């Protein structure tokens, strides 16, 4: 069986699972300064699936692909520590403010540039935007079939894959031809930990922007080992059309994010009798919450 080329879509996200009282600013936006940036949890499951395939199929290449600000290089290093072969950062101020349409367009152009990709895997959803749209939209744009909500890999060859996907009322086993895009759910196997030898090597991996700020001995180390160089692609590098990226390419605008805190005076204690339930239904219908 020939080796496969796998792209793992990974997003750096604020750690919204450990939200404290200062996580939101007064204007309702996320206070990124107090939330550490982490590898999106589902994307770690997707990376694990790619690495399991690499373990099974000799010579398989695993490439992390992320669109994000310059600090997203940390995410690529994290992927390299866990076993990815390379990582690519798609980073340019003009990509900023992207909704899922513009994000998936940008990722699709990068995948086309990578070329001959057998398998694209990503998480089901990111814990900040939470839309679960980016994977399916990317599949449409690269013309690959898509299989979503995967929780088990049963078999893979260079022409097909068999996977189990979790549905609301059960589990579906799907056989799909390759190439394909798959989104992997958080119930898939947990990602393997960092490998000590890889940490020792890839802690020196740098993007061009980072390299410029490094002392000469680090520059020399990276120049002598090209695997330590993290490519950084701009709008021009992926041949993206300006009106399809960033804010101009994003019809969805997040107008406002509201921090809803329920106070005691909004809470009501009801008894489980018909009168109280009728009363509550009447209030909910009257205030148009249901109806
Ligand atoms: C509060 C809030 C609400 C939002 N609401 C909307 C909305 O209603 N509609 C809309 O279009 N956009 C919305 N956005 C913007 C949205 O977060 C971005 O478009 C984001 O880049 C991708 O969407 P997502 O985070 O929902 O990712 P999801 O679609 O949930 O991500 C699924 C998977 O796609 C891959 N992926 C996603 N982004 C990247 C990336 N940058 N690089 C590499 N892989 C990636 C990862 O594998 C990820 O697990 C919202 C953002 C915020 C903060």
> Could you tell me the residue range of the domain that residue 107 belongs to?
5-244
Cβ contact 49:147 at 8 Å: no
Separation of CA 60 and ligand 1 centre (Å)? 28
Residue at 255 is within a domain: no
Separation of CA 276 and ligand 1 centre (Å)? 41
Separation of CA 283 and ligand 1 centre (Å)? 36
Residue 124 token pair: 């089901």
The span from the CA of 206 to the CA of 213, in Å, is 10
Residue at 161 is within a domain: yes
Residue at 127 is within a domain: yes
Cβ contact 146:104 at 8 Å: no
The span from the CA of 124 to the CA of 47, in Å, is 12
Residue 100 token pair: 């899922």
The reported pLDDT for the residue numbered 131 is 94
* Ligand 1 proximal residues by C-beta, below 6 Å: 9-11, 40, 42-43, 66-68, 98-100, 103, 107, 122-123, 125-126, 128-135, 252, 254, 257
Indicate the DSSP class of residue 24: B
Residue at 290 is within a domain: no
| pLDDT for 204 beyond 80 | yes
Residue at 195 is within a domain: yes
Residue at 87 is within a domain: yes
Long-range contacts of 276-279 (CB under 8 A, 24+ apart): none
The reported pLDDT for the residue numbered 269 is 82
The reported pLDDT for the residue numbered 27 is 62
The reported pLDDT for the residue numbered 267 is 75
pLDDT band at 135 (very low <50, low <70, confident <90, very high): very high
The predicted model scores a pTM of: 0.88
Residue at 287 is within a domain: no
Separation of CA 222 and ligand 1 centre (Å)? 33
Quick one: what percent of the chain has pLDDT higher than 90? 74
pLDDT band at 167 (very low <50, low <70, confident <90, very high): very high
Q: Which of 73, 85, 60, 82 is nearest to 189 (CA)?
A: 82
pLDDT tens digits, residue range 16-74?
A: 877 777 777 766 566 777 788 999 999 999 999 999 999 999 999 999 999 999 999 99
Residue at 284 is within a domain: no
pLDDT tens digits, residue range 15-28?
A: 887 777 777 776 65
CATH, residue 84: 3.40.50.620
| pLDDT for 1 beyond 70 | yes
Helices (H), 36-187: 41-56, 73-82, 100-114, 134-142
Cβ contact 252:100 at 8 Å: yes
| Distance (Å) of CA 157 to CA 161, 171, 188, 208, 235 | 6, 22, 20, 36, 34
Indicate the DSSP class of residue 22: T
pLDDT tens digits, residue range 252-289?
A: 987 777 767 767 667 778 888 899 889 888 988 888 88
The total of structural domains in the chain comes to 1
């Amino acid at each position: 069986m020939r080796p496969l080329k796998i792209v793992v879509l990974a997003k750096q996200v604020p750690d919204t699972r450990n939200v404290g009282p200062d996580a939101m600013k007064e204007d309702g936006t996320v206070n990124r300064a107090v939330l550490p940036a982490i590898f999106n949890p589902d994307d770690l499951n997707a990376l694990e699936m790619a690495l399991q395939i690499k373990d099974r199929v000799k010579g398989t290449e695993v490439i992390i692909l992320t669109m994000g600000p310059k600090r997203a290089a940390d995410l690529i290093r994290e992927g390299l520590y866990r076993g990815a072969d390379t990582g690519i950062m798609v980073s340019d101020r003009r990509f900023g403010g992207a909704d899922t349409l513009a994000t998936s367009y940008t990722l699709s152009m990068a995948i086309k540039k990578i070329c001959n990709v057998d398998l694209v895997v990503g998480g089901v959803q990111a814990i900040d935007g939470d839309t679960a749209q980016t994977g399916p939209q990317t599949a449409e744009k690269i013309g690959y079939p898509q299989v979503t909500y995967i929780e088990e890999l049963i078999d893979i060859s260079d022409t097909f894959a068999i996977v189990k996907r979790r549905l609301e009322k059960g589990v579906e086993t799907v056989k799909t031809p390759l190439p394909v895009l798959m989104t992997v759910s958080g119930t898939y196997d947990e990602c393997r930990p960092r490998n000590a030898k890889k940490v020792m090597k890839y802690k020196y991996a740098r993007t061009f922007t980072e390299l410029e700020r490094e002392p000469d001995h680090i520059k020399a180390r990276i120049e002598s080992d090209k695997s330590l160089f993290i490519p950084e692609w701009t709008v021009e590098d992926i041949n993206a059309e300006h009106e399809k990226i960033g804010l101009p390419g994003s019809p969805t605008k997040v107008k406002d994010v509201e921090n809803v805190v329920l106070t005691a005076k909004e809470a009501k204690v009801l008894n489980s009798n018909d009168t109280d339930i009728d009363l509550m239904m009447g209030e909910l219908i009257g205030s148009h919450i249901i109806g």
